[in-house]
Amino acid sequence: MKKKLLWLLLAFASIAQAAAPDTSQSALPLLQPLPQETQAAHLSAEFLTQKHYKAAPLDEAMSEKIFDRYLKSLDPERMFFLQADIDQISSAKTKLGDAITNEDLNIPFLIFNLYEQRFTEQFTYARSLLKQNFDFTVKEGFQAERDKAAWPKSEDEMHDLWRKRVKNDWLRLKLAGKDQKSIFSTLDKRYENYLVHTRQLKSEDVFQYFMDAYAQSTDPHTDYLGPRASEDFNITMHLSLIGIGAVLEQRDEYTTIRELVAGGPAALSGKLKVGDRIVGVAQGEHGKVVDILGWRLDDAVAIIRGASDSTVTLDIIPADATPDGKHKEISLVRKKINLEQAAAKDTIIEVKEGDTVRHIGIITLPIFYQDTDARMKGDQDYRSTTRDVSRLLTQLKKDKVDSVLIDLRNNGGGFLDEAINLTGLFINQGPVVQQRYANGKVKVESDTEGKPVWDGPLGVLINRGSASASEIFAAAIQDYGRGLIIGEQSFGKGTVQTIVDLDQYSHADKPKFGELKMTIAQFFRINGGTTQLRGVTPDINFPSTSNAEDFGESSFDNALPWSQINAANYTVEGDLTGVIPMLQIRHDMRVKNDKEFQYLEEDIAQVKAERKKNLVSLNEADRRKERDVQEARIKAHEKLTESGKSASEKLAAAKTEALRDDGLQANERNLTVQLAAEKAAKDAKDILLNEAAHILSDEVDLLKTDTRLAARVLPGSVATQSTK
């Protein structure tokens, strides 16, 4: 077996050497696996082949899956590898399992080195194309999505593909009114930045790509988290970090301040502002300044973060200074930063129907979070989803809202315990979710708190991006008959993951092996069904913006099938079957006459049609005609909704439309303009949220006018039934 691997390594080395032109070899040092990475791969394999919910041997079949997924992660649009490359590296297709078992990852690294070389060649070629004149009168098109296309068979075919890509980039900027000099400068810098980025790749990046391919070949939601990815994951789930309280982004070679977190050291200092560029970092007030100009963003962030109450000194070029302008040094003491943008938030929407005004309390929940570190330390005020939502509900009750809507759109999940506890805020005690493990054992997870915090009318708004813990909560609310589910069919993720600390398992003295986020169980609704593949089906559907073939559990080729177990023992708290048809009728009548809702449906239909067509015209006259049609629709929409808008709302809409397609990437725009556009988009009218509020207002109206119906719908009524 080792002889076969050695032969493959020699073959790959010759391929890489033959592929590399002399001008680029020195600029692209070959990346090689580190000892801790080969060990981490072996440790991961022990868990994935023995402890995973659907444990699979690391055999030739699994090797082929890893190989295919690895290539897809590197070249998803098939714009770098030639078919000849694929034919030659396919000799390793069944050998990747041996590479992991034998702790010899040279083959996947050689594949990556070949990819990196091809990447450099194609973007170097793209830059050379900028010097030619494009003929925009030719009738030709560019395939927008190439994930199912064939690999280019020749260098000429590859060059033609890139000619069309560059031509499309150029045409977008031209249609946006940019002149030739500006277009050349923008695209040349863009392509150069891609080349700079690939030269900054490290061994850990290659290892992350490869281990993701292995982990996700077992199931879509198993992931490998390297030490840095693990840190970022924990920050997201805990909603806190230790740092200076600044959101940073990469703009060319500068680490730039994009946002100051309220209450953080950076904001409280009053010495930093959005747009400032950090070019040096020192530890302590008098430490040696390390030049970070040109650093990768994650490396810059790592050196700026540090221990709580420690000092960091930043070398700053102010936002309003030229690159060679006067610097200033600012010392800050790092503190714990709460990431409030991902925390639960509330607002109240007024719904007017004739002389009646209903108040609908909205709680927006981006993720199911919990500060487990603070909880383990005994902090009585630790942050969690349930605690924050309970506080918001108490306030909404004081505000005398008529109904509550939990907005879970694009909430991808989080802590399972929080989904269970959150459900307990709206039901009397009882089961919330069932978990089935690999050995077939089923465990019922229940809420035991008793009295709900909110027992009034309730709605849950979901979309295709609502997954995992969001689906557990929405399914439980639906099964109990406790509230209306409104929106799109949810993601369809019905599996449970746990975090395996590989360092702890191997007794490492410091973090070096990372973690596995590994599937250990499948969850089921209390009615016995599962959200796996099918998701949660809303009681009232909204138009879907997603394509099930591209997004959602059903888009994965190795997703677990839908299945069913016995129902848990629970008592239904409300019966919505009588109210849903009436709400559906009112909803249909309202949106039929709502021009904004109709425009939304037209926009969705147009996006789906473009996606299905999958061809972008490179003819300037055709593209201008398409743009004119689109602008006419926008103007008609603006004219329809203009009356009653404030000046600030009109300005926000104008800024949003101005950036609708300017041909630029986000980091190529003026930062102030970019942030204004993002704020305008965020503050724009949320048509679907407003309609969901109207539906809940309709429900309140029906329940107030029909006491018998109200007795069936609201908790604590006599119209309940037992399900076993």
Give the span between the Cα atoms of 360 and 448, in whole angstroms: 28
Cβ distance 319 to 277 under 8 Å?
A: yes
- 400: CB partners within 8 A, 6+ apart: 359
- For residue 13, pLDDT over 80 is answered with no
Contact predicate 651/679, CB 8 Å: no
Indicate the average pLDDT of the chain. 90
Q: Report the DSSP beta bridge partners of residue 358.
A: 351
For the segment 374-393, what is each residue's pLDDT rounded down to a tens digit? 899 888 889 999 999 999 99
User: How big, in percent rounded to 5, are the helix, strand and coil portions of the chain?
Assistant: 45, 15, 35
Q: Is the pTM of this model over 0.75?
A: yes
Name which of 341, 147, 164, 132 is nearest 235 in CA terms: 341
Q: How far apart are CA 223 and CA 149, in angstroms?
A: 27
Annotation marks residue 328 as catalytic: no
pLDDT of residue 634: 75
pLDDT of residue 609: 82
Whether 655 and 677 have beta carbons less than 8 Å apart is answered as yes
pLDDT of 164 reads 97
How many whole angstroms separate alpha carbon 94 and alpha carbon 718? 63
What distance in Å separates the CA atoms of residue 118 and residue 101, rounded to the nearest whole number? 29
pLDDT for 288-337, tens place per residue?
A: 999 999 999 999 999 999 999 999 999 999 999 998 889 999 999 999 99
The phi, psi pair for 534, rounded to 5°, reads: -85, -20
Could you tell me the pLDDT band of residue 6, with boundaries at 50, 70 and 90? Answer: very low
**How confident is the model over 397-417, as a mean pLDDT?**
97
Q: Between 83 and 630, name the one with better pLDDT.
A: 83
Active-site residue (options: 44, 217, 384, 468)? 468
14: its two tokens = 């010759």
pLDDT band at 661 (very low <50, low <70, confident <90, very high): confident
> pLDDT by residue (tens digit) across 551-586?
999 999 999 999 999 999 999 999 999 999 999 999
Residue with tokens 């530890």: 283
**pLDDT (mean) for 522-540:** 97
Q: What is the DSSP string of 446-508?
A: EE---S-S--S-EEEEE-TT--THHHHHHHHHHHTT-SEEEES------EEEEEEEHHHHHT-
Nearest to 246 by CA among 264, 232, 268: 264
Q: Would you say residue 444 has pLDDT above 90?
A: yes
Out of 85, 346, 479, 503, pick the active-site residue. 479
- Residue 370, both tokens: 């919990």
Reading the block at residue 538, the tokens are 């809303």
- In terms of pLDDT, which residue wins out, 450 or 244? 244
> 723: pLDDT confidence band, cut at 50, 70 and 90?
very low
Residue 686 identity (one-letter amino acid): D
* Bridge-based pairing state of the strands 277-283 and 254-260: antiparallel
At 643, is the pLDDT very low, low, confident or very high (cuts 50, 70, 90)? low
Crossing angle of helices 60-74/106-129, nearest 10°?
20
Q: What is the pLDDT of residue 12?
A: 53
Confidence at 720, pLDDT banded by 50, 70, 90: very low
pLDDT at 652: 45
Q: Is 468 annotated in the active site?
A: yes
Residue 32 pLDDT exceeds 70 = yes
pLDDT of residue 439 exceeding 70: yes
132: CB partners within 8 A, 6+ apart: none
- 493 among known catalytic residues: yes
Q: Tell me the per-residue pLDDT of 165-193, one tens digit each, with 9 for 90 and over.
A: 999 999 999 999 999 999 999 999 999 99
Q: 707: pLDDT confidence band, cut at 50, 70 and 90? A: confident
Q: Which of 55, 67, 51 shows the shortest CA–CA distance to 99?
A: 67
pLDDT tens per residue across span 86-128: 999 999 999 999 999 999 999 999 999 999 999 999 999 999 9
Whole-number pLDDT of residue 179: 95
Tell me, what's the pLDDT at 23? Answer: 41
Q: Tell me, what's the pLDDT at 585? A: 97
Domain segments of the chain: what residues?
2-218, 240-338, 340-593+689-723
- Greatest alpha-carbon pair distance for the chain in Å reads 84
Q: In the prediction, which pLDDT does 25 show?
A: 42
Are the C-beta atoms of residues 126 and 118 closer than 8 Å to each other? Answer: no
Q: How far apart are CA 371 and CA 238, in angstroms?
A: 4
Question: What is the rounded CA–CA span in Å between residue 208 and residue 224?
Answer: 7
DSSP state of 568: P
Side-chain half-sphere of 1: how many Cα atoms within 13 Å?
A: 12
Which candidate in 95, 167, 174, 493 is catalytic? 493
Burial 505-537 (b: 16+ CB within 10 A, else e): eeebeebbbbbbbbbbbbbbbbbebbbbbbbbe
Q: Cβ neighbours of residue 264 under 8 Å, at least 6 residues apart? A: 243, 244, 245, 246, 335, 337
Distance CA 210, CA 39 (A): 14
Say which CATH class 340-593+689-723 falls into.
alpha beta
CA atoms within 13 A on the CB side of 698: 21
Per-residue pLDDT at 721: 34
Under the banding of pLDDT at 50, 70 and 90, the label for residue 613 is confident
Dihedral sign for Cα 291, 297, 303, 305, please: positive
Strand partners, 462: 487
pLDDT level of residue 246 (50, 70, 90 thresholds): very high
Nearest to 205 by CA among 119, 321, 333: 119
Give percent of the chain with pLDDT exceeding 90.
74
Q: How far apart are the first and last CA of the chain?
A: 56
Pairing of strands 356-364, 403-407: parallel
Confidence class for position 716, pLDDT limits 50, 70, 90: low
Beta-strand pair 484-487/458-462: parallel
Give, as one character, the DSSP assignment of residue 546. Answer: S
pLDDT band, very low/low/confident/very high, at 718 (cuts 50, 70, 90): very low
Tokens found for residue 384:
């969690």
Structure confidence at residue 642 (pLDDT): 56
Given the candidates 2.30.42.10, 3.40.30.10, 3.40.50.1460, 2.40.10.10, the CATH classification of the domain at 240-338 is 2.30.42.10
Q: What is the pLDDT of residue 679?
A: 85
What is the distance between the alpha carbons of residues 490 and 552, in angstroms, rounded to a whole number?
8
